[in-house]
Amino acid sequence: MSAASFAAVFVALYVAHSVGDHWVQTSRQSADKGRPGWVGRLADARHVATLTATKAALLLPVASLLDLRLSVPGIVAGLGADAVTHWWADRRSTLAWLAKVTGKAEFYSLGTGAHPAHPCTANGAPAAHLGTGAYALDQSFHHLWLLIAALIIATV
């Protein structure tokens, strides 16, 4: 498979990830997917199911329009690897654990009241900010697996 095919697959997955993670995911899924027990596991599974469907819905027309010769086993394996790792990271406690064992716990808490330099206004109230370290680590973890998924899809 050519580098151009890999690039097209990656771009399709990247865009679909952003759409699925931010527009398709419901507020309830987002709020519940990190909860302990079956409530969290099922909310996360529903999120990953709609996210994976979004990725397939964008990837397949791109592959058809660009005449990419992708195999069904490659698509299933790539989207499957992406789905499993996305579910794992979105349980939240798992990604927090990974941040801790890799020395990124302080960055993980950036933008929250738990961070030693959390943003606050002059009167001590929480200040607006652009995001959190947890979100940045979450998205970069997903982007790594999008790259791996694209490699699988383009080469299997």
Structure letter (DSSP) for residue 126? B
pLDDT, tens digit (0-9, with 9 covering 90-100), for 26-72: 999 999 999 999 999 999 999 999 999 999 999 999 999 999 999 99
pLDDT, tens digit (0-9, with 9 covering 90-100), for 110-137: 777 666 666 666 676 666 666 788 899 9
Q: How far is CA 111 from CA 99, 104, 105, 108, in A?
A: 15, 14, 12, 9
* Residues 106, 112, 114: CA angle, nearest 5 degrees: 55
Q: What is the pLDDT of residue 23?
A: 97
H or E segment and range at residue 86: helix 72-90
What are the residues facing 120 on neighbouring strands? 126
Q: What is the pLDDT of residue 129?
A: 62
Q: What is the pLDDT of residue 26?
A: 95
Question: Pick from 114, 151, 155: which is nearest to 132 by CA?
Answer: 114
Q: What is the pLDDT of residue 40?
A: 95
